[in-house]
Amino acid sequence: MTLYQRALESLRLQRGNSRLLAAEAVAAEPDSAAARLLEATILACSRDVRDFENAGWAYARLLKLEQASPHLGALAAALDGNLAGALRVYDAILDAQPDDFVALWAAQLMDYYLGNPLAQRERSGRVLARSSASMPGYHAVLSMHAFALHECGEYAAAEMTAHRALELEPGDLRAQHALLHVFEMRGQPAEGVRWAAARSAQWESHHMWWHVALFMLPLRRPHGALTIYDLRLQDESVAGMIDASALLWRLHLARVDVGERFAALAERWADRAGDAFCAFNDLHAMMAFVGAERWDLARLLLRAQQRRLMRLSGANHDMTRLVGYPASRALAG
């Protein structure tokens, strides 16, 4: 398996570091347009502003190798903050070529960012209708559809579809993730913990453990949640810090003493307080700052959001204006 194939498989399974693998594929084959396209797409879809900035450079290098791919139009729109425009291009790609997994992955993620579960469900459903189990990565299409069904409140269908994906590929973490969501939304924490216990040895993802920690709260096992936090939620990535903030804030609302954990987490968020790149990030950073009573960092974040709102447009501008900034101000008091 080539490095490019390993990166694509990582994306399909939602296992490992697909961004790093794509970068390694580009380093090994700098003239591979496919590898450069995969790297640029992963970077452009990141919630981390540092990745997003690197996406512009990756896109520029891709243009030197590839001029005809319709993916270029989607990437250009995404880099301009026009996710709706990028989605139109990706849907046109999938209409012509339903087995284009990179287009499907990017489109589903962008609609997730925009809060469009119906679009996610309809897109993955259309792709499934034109696909077969012999298609490479078919299990990943099923698992994406399972997650979209869950987001639309169709829990029985989501469960069935996730199990179909796991029958084809037991290591598909996206399908396992969809099932964890179903357990949560059905109010089945004990069942969720039992199901996770039989599979957690194969997990590399902090987010899967975050779900198990959430199950601990209705089971009145806050110390179990804190143990998971200490052992599994120390990831320095933006996604890792989001999970850490989300868990500590829930424990805080449940009046659980979390000790000095907020203070340490606020320090991890500190150098991103001025990013104001993604409203979802901002809100979770603010949870850490308020929990730690780091009002200096809270003010820095609010000022950064205000500056962004004055000069930018696009999807995150609207999300910050409508949700991110008001919610961050409310948390900061």
Instruction: Report if residue 331 sits inside a domain.
Output: yes
pTM of structure: 0.95
Q: What is the DSSP string of 71-106?
A: HHHHHHHHHTT-HHHHHHHHHHHHHH-TT-HHHHHH
The span from the CA of 262 to the CA of 194, in Å, is: 29
Mean pLDDT of 124-144: 95
Buried b (16+ CB within 10 A) or exposed e, 8-25: bbbbbbbbbebbebbbbb
Instruction: Report if residue 69 sits inside a domain.
Output: yes
Of 82, 104, 121, the domain-final residue? 82
Domain count, the chain: 2
The alpha helices in 152-237, defined as continuous H runs, are: 155-168, 173-185, 189-197, 206-216, 222-232
For the stretch 304-315, pLDDT in tens is 999 999 976 777
Instruction: Report if residue 133 sits inside a domain.
Output: no
Contacts 24+ apart (CB under 8 A), 84-90: 84/114, 84/315, 86/110, 87/111, 87/119
**pLDDT, position 328:** 98
Of 82, 105, 121, the domain-final residue? 82
Instruction: Report if residue 148 sits inside a domain.
Output: no
Instruction: Report if residue 253 sits inside a domain.
Output: yes
For the stretch 163-187, pLDDT in tens is 999 999 999 999 999 999 999 999 9
Closest by CA to 8, choosing from 29, 32, 35, is 35
Q: What is the DSSP string of 258-320?
A: -TTHHHHHHHHHGGGTTT---HHHHHHHHHHHHHTT-HHHHHHHHHHHHHHHHH--SHHHHHI
C-beta of residue 133 within 8 angstroms of C-beta of residue 164 = no
Residue 325, pLDDT above cutoff 70: yes
CATH of the domain at 74: 1.25.40
Domain residue limits at 300: 203-333
Read off the DSSP letter of residue 4: H
Q: Which helix (H) or strand (E) holds 35?
A: helix 33-44
C-beta of residue 94 within 8 angstroms of C-beta of residue 105 = no
Instruction: Report if residue 42 sits inside a domain.
Output: yes
For the stretch 229-270, pLDDT in tens is 999 999 999 999 999 999 999 999 999 999 999 999 999 999
For the stretch 190-205, pLDDT in tens is 999 999 999 999 898 8
Instruction: Report if residue 91 sits inside a domain.
Output: no
**pLDDT, position 1:** 85
Instruction: Report if residue 294 sits inside a domain.
Output: yes
Of 66, 82, 98, the domain-final residue? 82
